[in-house]
Amino acid sequence: MAEPVKTEQPGQPPAAGRSSEDRSARIAVTVFPVIIIAAFLIGFLFPTQTAPLAQYTSIALGVIMFAMGITLTIPDFALVIKRPLPILLGVIAQYVLMPAVAVALVFVFQLPPELAVGVILVGCAPGGTSSNVITYLAKGDVALSVTMTSVSTLLAPIFTPLLTLWLAGTLLPVDAGSMAMSIVQMVLIPIVAGLLVRWLLRSWVEKVLPLLPWVSVLGISYVVIAVVSGSADRIVEAGLLVLAVVILHNGLGYLLGYFAARVFKYPERVARTTSVEVGMQNSGLAATLAAAHFSPVAALPAAVFSVWHNISGGLLALFFRYRSARQEKHDLEVQKAHSNAQ
């Protein structure tokens, strides 16, 4: 779900008339936690029947990334030139803060190697594909969010395997070269293909844009079913521990992303955007990489993250909207008091 709504200008509120693409994206994000929980339960309750799905998770992720590529346009990347500093902050925070938090949690909770690698891999993943819609619902800067997600995703073939090798290489063998090639095949090539399709078949693509959020929802649900089916036994044993680590990882990402932007004196909307971008990870990519290069158990943290970060993202958006409403009410009261004083 790379681009939930078009803005009139980068960083400006959405246009008055919400497009069908916007409505579809908002509905998809609203029901996404329910669908992903159902996928989690299917994989857990029917592991034998759903285990064969694991061999096609890379294809499912490629479809998700292709859909993301179709939603992107040239102005999304032009924002890198127009507003490089907040984008640079967001990308650096993504690939510094989240891996650092992951390593700290692995140390504090003394996780076994397979789960530890899975948590670190989630921390080293790029921004989540649903972060743009959450940013919109949180009244953040949608154009900035789209660009941050796009840039961090395109950098993933470099940073994700190198960071995983550096931070997790002592826990389990990490083939950074093979992982980088997997990311190129599952992420980079599908995104570029999607961009080309958007450019060559623009009129046709406009008709199918409302369906693309559902492609992402179904694709990630497929990955979750496949991953959970391969680690159903360990969920019973370590499920609560993994959930606690995931909740802390995600929550600290939100907080650190928000305050990183505020430290550099960026406005509230940029801080909200950075918070969402840093806190929400591409857990579908992390799960697929973990299952392919390590084990189904290593993919468990990413599967749990897929469920949790979409629930927490919706709650965070509600919190930010509540703050906006209070601020607007306060400003209105100040204006009335000022008018009465005159």
pTM across the whole model = 0.82
Query: Could you tell me the domains of the chain?
Result: 25-341 (1.20.1530.20)
Helix orientation angle between 84-109 and 268-279, rounded to the nearest 10 degrees: 40
pLDDT of 3 higher than 50: no
- Which of 71, 105, 53 minimizes the C-alpha distance to 224? 53
| 258 close to 317: Cβ distance less than 8 angstroms | no
Instruction: Indicate the average pLDDT of the chain.
Output: 83
Higher-confidence residue of 173 and 103: namely 103
- pLDDT tens, 274-317? 999 999 998 888 988 998 899 888 989 998 898 888 788 878 88
How many degrees, rounded to 5, is the angle at CA 54 between CA 213 and CA 32? 25
β partners of residue 127: 281
Predicted confidence band of residue 25 (pLDDT cuts 50, 70, 90)? low
Kindly report which listed range (95-99, 167-171, 243-247) carries the lowest average pLDDT score.
167-171
Higher-confidence residue of 132 and 28: namely 132
Q: Output the six-digit token pair for 255.
A: 């907080």
The C-alpha atoms of residue 214 and residue 211 are separated, in whole angstroms, by 6
Higher-confidence residue of 240 and 33: namely 240
pLDDT at 20: 57
Looking at residue 249, the DSSP 8-state letter turns out to be H
pLDDT at 28: 58
The C-alpha atoms of residue 160 and residue 208 are separated, in whole angstroms, by 31
Q: Within 13 Å, how many C-alpha atoms sit on residue 72's CB side?
A: 30
Q: Within 13 Å, how many C-alpha atoms sit on residue 307's CB side?
A: 22
Predicted confidence band of residue 90 (pLDDT cuts 50, 70, 90)? very high
pLDDT at 340: 66
- Mean pLDDT for 76-94 is 88
- pLDDT tens, 221-235? 888 888 888 877 778
pLDDT of 267 higher than 70: yes
Higher-confidence residue of 329 and 111: namely 111
Q: How many percent of the chain have pLDDT more than 90?
A: 34
Predicted confidence band of residue 19 (pLDDT cuts 50, 70, 90)? low
Predicted confidence band of residue 24 (pLDDT cuts 50, 70, 90)? low
